[in-house]
Structures are given as C-alpha cells and as structure tokens.
Amino acid sequence: MARKRKGNPVHGWVVLDKPYALGSTSAVGKVRWLFTAQKAGHAGTLDPLATGILPIALGEATKTVPFMVDAKKAYQFTLTFGENTDTWDTEGEVTETSDVRPAEADILKALPQFIGDIEQVPPRFSAIKVKGKRSYDLARSGEVVELKPRRVSVTRFELLEYNEEAATFEVDCGKGTYIRSLARDLAAALGTCGHVTMLRRTRVGPFTLAHAFTLDALENLCHMGGVSEALRPVETALDDIPVLALTEQEANELKHGRAIVLTPSFTAEKSEWILAMLEDKAVALCNTSDGQLRPKKVFNL
C-alpha cells in the first residue's frame, strides 16, 4: 500500500521576498509549513545575506523549477570600496585593503567591459560542487578551492548611486552569474579593493517584487485563512513557452503518457518545449517529433 504523503496537495508558485540572514532551504521550509504543502522546492539559491525574490514551487509546480532556474534575473547591489574579504561580502574576513577610491567617471568608463558574454571565477564560498562537496564547505574547513572560470551573460549593468566610499548598481544577467564575482572584478578593474555590502534580487523570469510577499505577509494571510491568495498558477513559470489548447480526449491521452497527433496548423514544431493546456489547467510539458506531441512531464492537477 502506497504511503500517504504528509500535507495538502497544494500546487503553484509563491514569490517570497526573502529576508536578510535567512537561508534559501530554511525559507522553503517556512513557506511549505505555512501552506501545509506536500512538496516544495526553490528556483535558484539566494545567499543568506541577500534579500529579494526567491521563487518557491509547491506541489506540481516543482516540475517547472528547471525553467525558473534558467530564467534571467535582475539584482541591485552595493560595492563598498577599500577592503577585500575572503567571501567577497560582509560575512568574510578582510584579506586586503586599498586607499584608492574611484571617481564616478572611472566607474562609468569601466562598466561596458562587464556587459555581454564574459568570464568570471565564482566565489570560493559558493554552493558549487567540487568533487561532490559544496565549495563553501571546503573553504570553511580550510581547504584551498580552485574554481574554474565560467562564461556568463550580463545584459545590463547600470550605476544607480555613487559616493566616494561606495556605489550601487543594477544588473540584468543570465543563469550562473555571481554578483560577488562581478563586484570583485569591477573593483580590481578600478585599481582598488571592494566587496558587496548589499545584495537584493529584484526579478527572476516573470516574477518581480510586485508579485512578492514577505514572510510576515504570508503569515498574516495564513491567520486570516487567505494564504492561497499568494499562490500563482503552475504555468506562470512557463510564460515564454508555446501553448497548445487541447480537447478533453487529447488531454486524457497525454495524462496517460500517450502521444497525440499534431494538426498541420500548429507552428511551434521547432520549440524544445510545448505546454499543453485544457482550458485553464496545465496538462503536460511536451516535445514534438514526427508530427506528434509527446508528454515528458505530466501535471496531476
């Protein structure tokens, strides 16, 4: 006999405005508890010292997490000049100092070299796995961690505020971009030291701060019995994927893992993924081949 899962069959996305000092895993646990959900996961780790958008998937929405992990993101951060730390943020120990304070004109001149497809070395204190272990665990144990440069994409890098001691920026970037690395490299290009003293994620794919709820707001909704107001549909994470409307018979076939024949008028054959919908409910994520729509991830909604 199948073991019954604890919790309720809650399905959808919660856009959490993660508070300072709370880890991503702990944040998921708190949201899952508030919704008494059977299953939960997050789309992209946010450092404990960072705030902002942490999309949390509940129930069947966990099947769409990879699409959110790959989504474009936006951050605001403050780079404070004068000190390097071993974590490249305020959590670490100071490793180097500099009296150089760059002028605003120098910063503006340096920014274009960090826009486009660039290479950066991730921080040693990061969640990247090295020989099966997290890099931050190895670094904290005193082991020397050498991480290889990786190619990332930065589409916008703007200066928002400036004073002699610090500058605040806004960045649009792709998957795998480390803001702490970007800050470290910018400070080095300006001939000084620097580390991140504020980091806030303001967008992940279709989710912005306008959609976000604080933990306090979610708890208040929970006490009033309206926590479901913060729940966004499973398919919200799939807003840039072609959609195919189904008949009830077609939906039934896909739900049972069987392919259906595509009509000649369907024009998204070259798309890697297609979202099959029955009215307002997601039925399956599918691939196409040989004129057929084949279910790869079926939603039990």
Q: Could you list the active site residues?
A: 47
Secondary structure of residue 22 in the 3-state scheme: coil
Rounded distance between C-alpha atoms, residue 202 and residue 68, angstroms? 14
Count of residues making up the chain: 301
Q: Are 157 and 183 in contact (CB under 8 A)?
A: no
Q: Tell me, what DSSP letter sits at residue 100? A: -
Residue 233 in contact with residue 263, Cβ under 8 Å? no
Single-letter amino acid, residue 24: S
Burial 255-266 (b: 16+ CB within 10 A, else e): beeebbebeeee
Tell me, what amino acid is at 116?
G
